[in-house]
Structure 1
Amino acid sequence: MTEELKSHLLKLMSTIDGLHAIVVTDRDGVLMLKVANENAPELALRPAFLCAFGLMTEQAGKMGMSQNKSIVSMYSSYQVVQLNKPPLLVSMIADADANTGDILHLENELKDVLTDVAKVIQMS
């Protein structure tokens, strides 16, 4: 099943120019599923970086701002689009000039994959 999910993510990744990685983690940054090409920056794939969004979302909720649904972080060479899909976090790493709207739209395409992975997490 994991290979099927990875294959599906690779297919989705190939539909957007400049998208280098799709990473699904739990709230602590524990890797559940990852697909990346050779252009994905290694530092952005580390658990410490990936779990920061989950921590920020929790803090915003405590300040009365409610939970974030997504966040886009722009850097000089890359952008990171992260989706909050409890109990999962999805991080997508792309070139800075990649179409952010198209990347955000992948949320609809990821629903089935995230449902499958969430079921596995809840069972364990």
Structure 2
Amino acid sequence: MEAKFNDICTRLFYSGLLVAMVTDRDGVIILKSVSEGAKENMTEPTIPTTFAITNNQASVVVQKIMSVYDKYQVIQLDQSPLIITLIAESTANTGLFMNLGDNLLELTEPLVEAMKE
């Protein structure tokens, strides 16, 4: 699964993808793929854990969220108990990364099922 995850993500580095990671709700990284252009702090657990806390407090469960911060866009997908986080350049094609997120949801589904047992 790790090789497939990395293969899918590295193909999109040229399109502006900087970081793709799958974490648990505490921010523990399970899978990650990082481009050479990514800043070191982009893989810190702050981003996925903030999403988890916010989503837990919301009255409705949010499946996907897209944010823009400074020069970056952050796309997060809830796949309880996992969170998929994609960080890309703000000028990159958001739809491309939303599709990537959907592909990663499918790829990690067996892992989610195993964690639920």
**Does the 8 A contact of 1:43 with 1:49 survive in 2?**
no
Describe the SS at the equivalent of 2:23.
strand
Describe the SS at the equivalent of 2:107.
helix
Deviation at 1:89, TM superposition (A): 0.2
Equivalent residue number for residue 26 of structure 1: 24
Of the candidates 39, 47, 53, which is equivalent to residue 49 of structure 1?
Answer: 47
Distance 2:73 2:100 in 1: 15
**Does the 8 A contact of 1:19 with 1:92 survive in 2?**
yes
Distance 1:35 1:91 in 2: 11
Q: Is it true that 1:119 corresponds to 2:97 in the alignment?
A: no
The 5-angstrom pairing of residues 74-93 of structure 1 reads: 74-93=68-87
Deviation at 1:44, TM superposition (A): 2.4
Equivalent residue number for residue 2 of structure 2: 6
TM-score w.r.t. length of structure 1: 0.82
Any gaps of 5 or more consecutive residues in structure 2?
Answer: none
Letter of the aligned partner of 1:47 in structure 2? P
Any gaps of 5 or more consecutive residues in structure 1?
Answer: none
**Does the 8 A contact of 2:74 with 2:85 survive in 1?**
yes
**Does the 8 A contact of 1:20 with 1:93 survive in 2?**
yes
Detail structure 1 runs of 4+ shifted over 6 Å in the superposition.
none
Of the candidates 97, 100, 110, which is equivalent to residue 106 of structure 1?
Answer: 100
Distance 1:108 1:48 in 2: 23
Letter of the aligned partner of 2:84 in structure 1? V
Distance 2:16 2:5 in 1: 15
Identity %, equivalent residues: 31
TM-score w.r.t. length of structure 2: 0.86
Distance 1:108 1:72 in 2: 14
Deviation at 1:42, TM superposition (A): 2.2
Distance 1:18 1:78 in 2: 10
